[in-house]
Each structure stands twice: as C-alpha cells, then as structure tokens.
Structure 1
C-alpha cells in the first residue's frame, strides 16, 4: 500500500530568506522612526511656546497688565536657566521682570527634552505690554525671534518671529543665520 505524504512547513533556506528580508526592511524603518520622533518633539516644544505666547498676550490685553515670560528651572522664579529647561509667565504688577509678592504666576512649562531654544533678543525675558505689544531685553527693541532646534541642526529647526504687535509667526526649517550656528540639542 502506498502512502503519499506532502510536506508541510518551511525549509531552513526559506526561513533564512524571510528573516533577511525582514531585517533589511526593519533597518530602513528605524532611521525614519527616529526622524518622526525628533519632529514630534520639536513640534511639541514649538507648540508649547506658541501656546504660552498667545496666553500671555491675551492676559496682558484683557487685564491691561504687563505679562512677563522668563526662563525658569524651578517653575516659580525667573533665573539663569536656559529656555529649554522650562519657563514661567506671570502678571508683572511691579514691572521688575521678577516674580514678587505683588505678582501672579499664570503658568509654567517644564523643560523640553532634546531641544535647544535660542534667542538673542529674548535671552532673559519677553514682556507683553498692556496693549499686547512686546518688549524684549531692552526697551529700545520691539521685535525678535526664537529658534527651536535639535541635534539635527538648523535645517530641521523652527523659528518664531515676534513683531511689535506681539503675534508669533512660525517659520519651519532651513534657518541660515550665523547667529544660530551652534543650534543643536545639548
């Protein structure tokens, strides 16, 4: 009596070929995934800053008060922190650009990982006047920009431009300014 059996399963050669194709596909996907994560972090940090700018400007106008935004590593005081370590914004009733007993802290943003935030005009603080216009490090300046970047450099950065009216304008990527030559996450 003859028995006719068919083999079921995969040979070793077939399994190795399948694993090789899967490994090649995965190796191509990893850099793309890293780029997506980096883009997501940069967009998130930019959105946090834009939200703060809009909220601070809105409070300045509606309360007819000066509102200050400054770097803060402890979410309570303006200090020598870098912007990426976090910031606070507050109604600056005594207009000294420091949180005091007469001032009201409106909000704080914790540090943003893997992002560097640079600004020449807003290095120490950014102030919204009661009319919604901005004042920067000196009373003579009325506009400036903030650059957010990561380890990929200026090509993948986002820049916020603040004109005298106080509304931020966002420009993505390709920042070619010598002022930001060291733009990369620390």
Structure 2
C-alpha cells in the first residue's frame, strides 16, 4: 500500500509560546497607545458637536428675528417651556418669539420656535460671559454685550471648544482661552 503526502507537516502547524507572547505584547502596546488617543478624539468631537448645535440655533434665532421682524430670545431650558436661570446650557435650550418686554422670560402664548435637547455625555456648555439669555432684534443684532460660549471637557482636562457672539449677531470661533475660561470649565463639586 502506497502512502500519500497531503502536505501536512507535523511540528509546523502553529505558533510557539514565545511568538504568541511577543504578538500579545505588541497588541497590548498598540491598544495602550491608541485607546487614550481615541477617547481624546471622541471627547473633542462631542464638544465640537455641542458648539455646532448651538451655532445652528443662534443662526436660526437671528434668521427668525429678521423674518418675523420681532425680538427672538434664546435661553437655557431644561423643560423646553420656561427659561432656566443657569449660565450652563448643556441641559438644553429653547428659542421663542418674544412678544412682550420681558426678554429673559417666556410668557404664555409666546410661540416656541425650537427646543434643543441636552448635549449629553458629560459635556458642559457654559456661557462664559454671564448671560442667562440672548435676544436678537429684528435687525439681526444681538442686544446687550458680546457673549462667549464654551463646550467644556467633563473632567476639565482638555481645552474647551468655544464661540464668540458679537453684538452685530456674528459668530466666530474662539482661538485662544484665558484663565477665566479655564475657571469656567473647571468641574463644579456637588
């Protein structure tokens, strides 16, 4: 009887223990370097996304003020019905047509234009200019003084992503941050 060789070689079918350990160590090293970088990338994108949602709302509020020829107010709102008295906007905000002279308060009958849901994932969205609400005039200008918004890292470790709203109603990206900005982004205890 003749034997056939099917190409199987005993002793060459796998990895040695040393090869497995070296491969495992290389994989652990790559993961150790890649995971923190991916988390930083993810958190930066969350902050940028929060700011982009706010910018979209600011553009809408300005456009509605011009189109409706009336004051439009934008304020933080956790319930989507009334303005909050907080300087932090991460719990959501709303835009409403302001038909009376109470600019920071929505009264019954004033139409709500948009309610924005919370930004989530621990991101803090802070008004660094101590403004609890913004009002756009029918001319498209923002009343009061210029305002800065910062999207802060949950741990306060990374630079915030920020925008600047001028009195003319124009929006610009904040390129540098002050000590006050860092203090505004410091996580609050309690």
- Following superposition of structure 1 onto structure 2, how do residues 145-184 of structure 1 map, counting pairs within 5 Å? 145-151=148-154, 153=156, 156-172=159-175, 174-178=176-180, 180-184=182-186
Alpha-carbon distance in structure 1 between the residues aligned to 2:157 and 2:20 = 44
> How many residues were matched structurally?
180
Q: Normalising by the residue count of structure 1, what TM-score does the alignment of the two structures yield?
A: 0.86
Q: CA deviation at 1:73?
A: 0.7
Other-structure match for 2:118: 111
> Secondary structure at 2:29's aligned position in 1?
helix
- Following superposition of structure 1 onto structure 2, how do residues 21-170 of structure 1 map, counting pairs within 5 Å? 21-81=26-86, 82-97=88-103, 98-113=105-120, 114-135=122-143, 141-151=144-154, 153=156, 156-170=159-173
1:66–1:21 distance in 2 versus 1, CA, 3 Å: same
- Contact conserved, 1:154 with 1:175, CA < 8 A, in 2? no
Alpha-carbon distance in structure 2 between the residues aligned to 1:47 and 1:37 = 15
Look at both structures and tell me which one has the larger radius of gyration over its CA atoms: 2
Q: CA deviation at 1:46?
A: 0.5
1:21–1:121 distance in 2 versus 1, CA, 3 Å: closer
Of stretches 36-45 and 101-110 in structure 1, the one that deviates more from structure 2 is 101-110
Ranges of 4+ aligned residues in structure 1 off by more than 3 Å: 3-6, 151-155
Q: Normalising by the residue count of structure 2, what TM-score does the alignment of the two structures yield?
A: 0.84
Cα RMSD for the two superposed structures: 2.4
1:21–1:155 distance in 2 versus 1, CA, 3 Å: closer
1:101–1:151 distance in 2 versus 1, CA, 3 Å: closer
Deviations, residues 80-111 of structure 1 (Å, cap 9, x unaligned) = 34311111011011131322223110001111
Q: CA deviation at 1:180?
A: 4.4
Unaligned ranges ≥5, structure 2: none
Q: CA deviation at 1:128?
A: 0.3
Other-structure match for 1:18: 23
1:166–1:154 distance in 2 versus 1, CA, 3 Å: farther
